[in-house]
Structure 1
């Protein structure tokens, strides 16, 4: 851990970008110089990116089916990608779903165990999140203890069953490929989906009880892909006060009305719209219906989205960057990061002021990523 005085850069403080020194002492932001001076002329120093939801780690843990057995090595590769994209805190979203395979219970158990074992040895703060399919009623009784054993304190609920097609007895699109990918006979896979659909009337009451139990244990609860105001209100009443990726303006507006946090996908911003026809994140941000932009499936996107928002004039630079730093930090209850003020963790990303490329990333005063020019300046005699 290095004590440094970063000088000459434009630093994003509470009042916006300002050319001031930033002092790092003992892994924290200090109000007085106490370390070795490092010139960062030509760079921006910003709060580190807090990624509230991402599943891009999957390709490192299982690049091909059965090809990766040492998940700890995969997580080391995940950290390298996160750090190179300025992410200092990352929520790794792992499914447990009827879809099976990489979204099955057995794989999730391996992932969560690997995170628990490997994350403490890394610089980047990796945090597990469970995305849980609501119709898996057989797992409800064991889920609280599983979560405790895995060290998971954040769970988000979703329902991806194609109910309309199942109600008509029709085979869902891509079902055969999905079944084979999970190692199942397609007929058995379809039968499972039909069985889960048939017990849908039991789900609301079971969810009420499960959320009450998990909430009493202090877990953070959220929902995924809300479509209506009524749906969001039901989740709010259960204590699931984070709305991830609402699919409609109606659902996002309901979340804001009830004081719930709203997470949107940074790739939606970068792409200029949803890839599957949902409401545009740009529109929701312009209306004030966003607290955090998450990587979703693409780790470069939070940085790119914040810069695009500022460059296009949708919001000012400080507000745009807040959506990837202070906003998600507060949403996750992490009050010790997200801003560059004395007493906060020295979680920092350094960008080239011309190209906006990540030049360095630091977590609690320790470098997780350091590129050529900055490395020379830091290690200069």
Structure 2
């Protein structure tokens, strides 16, 4: 793309808001006034959103169960949705689980292959996170091979077994629906759950060993849904340094006290509470117990959450939670801040809509609303 500079807007840079122009050249933020002027009077120019965990992509890949399986087409559509929501770097949280369907190992392989295929054609920087079920210890070699093959840099461990029911020898709730989703009979599905549950004593050692091997390769490793401080300590002892979506203030405090990054959900902030009845993310954020806000299951939410939080935190601190904070968590030192030499990942918010009107990813136009398109064409 030819060099250009944005004028007339307020740029949210390292020193706060400024009316200075913002230049883009050769895919980077540049000094001075590069190329032609793009006039966006009254718009706010911010660093592109780095979404550290999102699974909203699932509806693009399988809008109805079993109806469509054109994964590359779905990922291309996702590219457009991410850009329309100001997301320039997205980590797609893909399950590797016994749960079946889109969470199955087979689907994980297909999704990762499709992502590698379409990546050269994407505008946004789309990456994968693997969400590994802790009790699938017999398939950890397969997990590790996938991580190496697809150069996955972020892995978290989940435990979705219905422990309460299995502890008591009861039939787990929603068993029939889960079985149908996985393609098993209810009896076969229950037998699998019981088999995995019975090997629980082997799980910590297997997870710890895999986490250590991944960390040695430079892979970021974390836990998901830490229930309390004890759970966070146990996860840390296994080498799972990131705490994704801690369920209580105690878990988040335990993480931050020991320097563990904390990821919280933007939809939780927008709703004002957890949809599952857990701790309110905004409360944790106001207490300083958050490193990054993620889209979780709704891609419009990061912009909305940052705007909500700006009333208490100030715009620079609030926006950092969706830009420089997650970039730092992922080790992406080339983005997250509008500073010369950084990757030109930019979102310009249209004051008429309060929504991203122009998104630039790596110096390329990823999204433009009607007003932004008119400004670009007149440049």
Quickly name the TM-score band, shorter chain normalised. Answer: over 0.9
Could you say which residue in structure 1 is the equivalent of 2:369? Answer: 371
Q: How far does residue 354 in structure 1 lie from its aligned partner after superposition?
A: 4.2
Please say which of residues 253-262 and 148-157 is displaced more in the overlay: 148-157
Could you say which residue in structure 2 is the equivalent of 1:257? Answer: 257
Of 352, 355, 361 in structure 1, the residue corresponding to residue 353 of structure 2 is 355
Please say which of residues 179-188 and 123-132 is displaced more in the overlay: 179-188
Query: How far apart, CA to CA, are the structure 2 residues paired with 1:55 and 1:24?
Result: 31
Contact 2:204/2:238, CA 8 A, preserved across alignment? no
Contact 1:29/1:346, CA 8 A, preserved across alignment? yes
Query: How far apart, CA to CA, are the structure 1 residues paired with 2:54 and 2:323?
Result: 15
Note the aligned Cα RMSD (angstroms). 1.2
Could you say which residue in structure 2 is the equivalent of 1:318? Answer: 316
| Unaligned ranges ≥5, structure 2 | none
Q: How does 1:268-287 map to 2 (within 5 A)?
A: 268-287=268-287
Query: How far apart, CA to CA, are the structure 1 residues paired with 2:250 and 2:136?
Result: 27
Residues 102-161 of structure 1: CA deviation (Å, up to 9, x unaligned): 110101100011111112221100000000000001112332122111322211001011
Contact 2:43/2:349, CA 8 A, preserved across alignment? yes
Q: How does 1:335-350 map to 2 (within 5 A)?
A: 335-350=333-348
Q: How far does residue 234 in structure 1 lie from its aligned partner after superposition?
A: 2.8
Q: How does 1:111-260 map to 2 (within 5 A)?
A: 111-260=111-260
Q: How does 1:269-308 map to 2 (within 5 A)?
A: 269-308=269-308
Could you say which residue in structure 1 is the equivalent of 2:41? Answer: 41
- 3-state SS, counterpart of residue 378 of structure 2: coil
Query: How far apart, CA to CA, are the structure 2 residues paired with 1:103 and 1:246?
Result: 21
Residues 336-357 of structure 1: CA deviation (Å, up to 9, x unaligned): 0001011111100010124311
- 3-state SS, counterpart of residue 369 of structure 1: strand
Q: How far does residue 15 in structure 1 lie from its aligned partner after superposition?
A: 2.1
Contact 2:132/2:155, CA 8 A, preserved across alignment? yes
Q: How far does residue 235 in structure 1 lie from its aligned partner after superposition?
A: 2.4
Contact 1:116/1:151, CA 8 A, preserved across alignment? no
Query: How far apart, CA to CA, are the structure 1 residues paired with 2:7 and 2:347?
Result: 15
Q: How far does residue 256 in structure 1 lie from its aligned partner after superposition?
A: 0.2
Query: Which ranges of 4 or more aligned residues in structure 1 deviate by more than 3 Å?
Result: none
With the length of structure 2 as denominator, give the TM-score of the two structures: 0.98
- 3-state SS, counterpart of residue 190 of structure 1: helix
Q: How far does residue 368 in structure 1 lie from its aligned partner after superposition?
A: 0.6
- 3-state SS, counterpart of residue 362 of structure 1: strand
Q: How far does residue 187 in structure 1 lie from its aligned partner after superposition?
A: 1.1
Contact 2:21/2:32, CA 8 A, preserved across alignment? no
